[in-house]
Amino acid sequence: MAGLTIGKFAAAEGVGVETVRFYQRRGLLALPERRGSGYRQYTDADRSRLAFIRRARALGFTLGEIRELLGPADARSTGDVVRVAEARIAAVDRQIRDLAQLRCQLRRLVDMCGHGNGADCLALRLADAIGPA
């Protein structure tokens, strides 16, 4: 599927043309040279790179982290990849911990408000303390 114009390239990967241009401006995708037709043509390697960027974004990697992972092949090592991935794991672990705490707080709120009367419900007491909206 090599030789795609930007519109066909973007559509094939399920993104908009502006997304492709955004990634190019951020240095994540190269800007292909113009061919004899006058159009820039994207290759299968470009498609693979864009698919990697999209998967990494879906997993929560920042653009900076993706840039580090995709940097020039001769400028990165397996250690670089491991370092970036471990940093993402640590961030995910923090998010999991924070979400677990939030879940516990919400569970307590449901228990207090669902099984007690209005005087037992923390949310109602907080609403009363804050006043009308």
Model-level pTM?
Answer: 0.65
Place of tokens 């999209």: 54
Residues 31 and 84 in one domain: no
The conformation of residue 33, written as its DSSP 8-state character, comes to: P
Residue 67 lies inside a defined structural domain of this protein: no
Q: Looking at the structure, do residues 88 and 47 belong to the same domain, yes or no?
A: no
* 52 and 92 inside one domain: no
What pLDDT shows up at residue 74?
53
Q: For residue 72, is pLDDT > 80?
A: no
Q: How far apart are CA 57 and CA 66, in angstroms?
A: 8
- What six digits make up the tokens of 12? 């094939």
Q: Are residues 47 and 90 in the same domain?
A: no
Is the same domain home to 1 and 53?
A: yes
What is the per-residue pLDDT across 2-40, written as a single tens digit (0 to 9) for each? 688 999 999 999 999 999 999 999 989 988 888 887 888
Nearest residue to 50 (alpha-carbon basis) of 79, 95, 91, 9: 9
- The pLDDT tens digits for 92-107 are 999 999 999 999 988 8
Q: How crowded is residue 43: how many other Cβ atoms within 10 Å of its Cβ?
A: 15
Residue 70 belongs to some domain of the structure: no
Where in the sequence is the domain holding 93, given as residue range(s)? 77-133
Q: Is residue 69 part of a domain?
A: no
CB atoms within 10 A of CB 26: 13
CATH classification at residue 29: 1.10.1660.10
Q: Is the pLDDT of residue 84 over 90?
A: no
In 13-132, where does DSSP find H-type helix? 17-25, 44-58, 63-70, 78-115, 122-130
Examine residue 28 and state whether it is found in any structural domain, yes or no: yes
**Number of domains present in the structure of the chain:** 2
